[in-house]
Amino acid sequence: MTEFSAETLAGQRLMVGFDGTVFNADLEFLIGTLRVGGLILFSRNMQTPEQIGQLCRDCQAYARKFDLPPLFIAIDQEGGQVARLKPPFTQFPGNPAMVSQRDAVDFACVTARELKRVGINMDMAPVLDIAPEGVESIMAGRAFGSDPRWVADMGMTVIENMQRCGIMAVAKHFPGIGRTVLDSHMALPDLDVDLQTLTDFDLIPFKAAIAGNVAGIMLSHIRYTGIDTTWPASLSPAVTAGLLRRQLSYEGVVMTDDLDMGAIKPAFAIEAAIDQILKSDADIALICHKGPDIEAACRRIRQSLADDVTLRQMGEQSAKRILRLKRDYL
């Protein structure tokens, strides 16, 4: 911990998006000045395998220039509806189309091999949400199905094989958004369900992922009123510190979903969101679009860790989790 400055350790708490397909001044600022710990790629950043590989190499080289830890370079590559990489990368039909463990193994191994080849080291997958029968679930087109055990088995197959091939898997969206019918990209959904119901159904795949040492878990932007009537899961101490950390004993890296989504903006200012993330014992704030929120978030993290002894202690533990994961994979 002593080998990195307080500014660097604060920057490790951010994973951000950017514009452009080549290394540019924006990336110089994000990496060299803000010292962000991770980048996330979208279609706007990618043209060809060769271009993606060069972009990732240039970003990692710039981090090394400043003696920073290696960057998480992440992507949403679930297959089906959510697949940022287009041909010549292998295209898969998505989780609902998987009918066997062999399908999950093929997806995980091929995807991991193709990601690794171009320098991407983290996949925001698998989706562990369960789409219950009889519900017009927002996740019906992305979930493995309606049976918690099947979702758990398929999810674990993806996690085990992807991580065996050297790519960090991120299980999402904790504690499960399969029951929701409102899209959190647009607004903040409320889900009136108690903890016991979640435990008996929605949490089953996440418990399996935790037992299987999944590299990361992504929090949802859903407000579970049976747990926290004020904050969505991504900003809730009751969900992250209480349920995920204490009750389920997860010691890995926890990140929010994109703080640019409609469930968070404009209802919560970026400073208020960061305050809640730090209090909740989540590790990484995900901000997927270029804009002033990234710098404001970095400034708020640095200020909070400097001013508050408790948050600083929690921040040290968070930095240990992030750096341990980077040592294990990068």
Catalytic member of 19, 67, 185, 328: 185
* Spatial distance between the Cα atoms of 240 and 279, rounded to a whole number of angstroms: 9
Nearest to 159 by CA among 196, 205, 193, 204: 205
Catalytic member of 76, 103, 228, 257: 257
Residue 297 is encoded by which pair of tokens? 């978030």
257 is catalytic: yes
* Spatial distance between the Cα atoms of 171 and 160, rounded to a whole number of angstroms: 12
Q: How many alpha carbons lie under 13 Å from residue 119 in its C-beta half-sphere?
A: 21
CB 154 within 8 A of CB 126: yes
Cis before residue 93, ω within 30 degrees of 0?
no
SS3 sequence of 35-80: CCCEEEECHHHCCCHHHHHHHHHHHHHHHHHCCCCCCEEEECEEEC
Catalogue the active-site residues: 185, 257
